[in-house]
Structure 1
Amino acid sequence: MSSTAPPIRILIVDDHPLLREGLSSMIAGQPDMKLVAEAENGEQALQAFRDHQPDITLMDVQMPMMNGIDAITAIRTEFPTARIIVLTTYKGDMQALRAIKAGASGYLLKSMLRKELVDTIRSVHAGRRRIAADIATEMAEHVADDELTARECDVLRLVAIGNANKEVAARMGISEETVKTHMKNVLIKLGARDRTHAVVVALKRGIIDI
């Protein structure tokens, strides 16, 4: 990198102060990078991006007020060329897919930060896309799967928190038979043995959260 090239300007978005501090320290150790702002949630992230227009945004997914996926969508709506790297503890392929569809350029597990963060920042800044290898593998494994519909996800989410079919039907304003039909489709699409297995699979892949 040329010594006269400006540093990569970075915005950190995460609701955990210790993680922000760690990321800040890593960035401070790189001569070609500069931290320009921090935010604790998606709403703050959007305002910080407007104020600073960073080259790279490091974005957590699970945050209060506005989550990372919604924040990526909001930022990319106003700033279509924004380059955003998702940092997460979750390995689910569906969450990764939602982030990429929202406009993320990178997807990195927090357990990989020490080894891969700096190179990922430089790679995304150079215009490339970076997805953690094991996430990319899992995404490839499910690329031909039928996605759950929004209604099926709603049913499964209610089942996941302990509702029986009758309770799900009452809460959604549909018949118990319709609930059973939705659950049958869920089991088939997820390759699950039963309701409990379906919930485990859906949580692991990031299809639902509770």
Structure 2
Amino acid sequence: MKHRDKNIAFVQRFMHHVWQDKRYHEVGEFLSPQLIVESPLRTCVGSQNLSNAFSVWLQAFPDLQYHEQDVSLYGDWVKINWMCDGDHLGEFFGLSATGKKITYCGSTMVLMSDGIIHSYRADVSLPDVLERISGVPQNGPSMASQPSDDMFAHFNRITGAQLSRRQIECLSLVCLGNNNKTIAAMLGIQYSTFRTHIERALPLLGLSSPKQVFDWAFSTHVLELLIHIGLRRIRPVHP
């Protein structure tokens, strides 16, 4: 049933498009080019990477059925709790097709802005799914606790800069409003080292002061990316 809230209705249409219609290679109209993806498979940037993640599931479970259980709205975030069931008919993390029918539950959180999706977070227990298939307890793939290299490379592509990973981390924590000494402590570096990273990075971006970073990031459409990197330095996100 179509929801009256436009963001919820949009996300419901997107989920149906991917999981029910199996049109996971045709998602461009729904997603920001700078989409941030956090899933049990990996953390990455870009709509193609999300399509690739969908394909892992739908090639292993081509008859997968998606059932929405409930939906919640938290500001611009939409959260859907769901259940899926399907037959294991293709390779999945090294496990050959078994034909077993499995059911598993999870949730998806989506950040909406300007009528499209800017962040996609999937929460599902891969070890549980793998154990249901194989009958053997599994550790399953784990997400890295640090931001992936994709995000830093994507930042440099968008800005045309060639900043180091550490310089970008410093900028990300500046965007979160941390003071300089706190940032140095978070990164486990000396205050003087932090100052060196910032003083070298700012001119490459056409900036002269850390106070300009937030507005610059907003105007160049990398604010969400920097905030995401900064948040993962403060607290890892586990799906």
TM-score class, shorter-chain normalisation, is 0.3 to 0.5
Larger fraction in helix: 1
Relative to the length of structure 1, the TM-score reads 0.42
Larger fraction in strand: 2
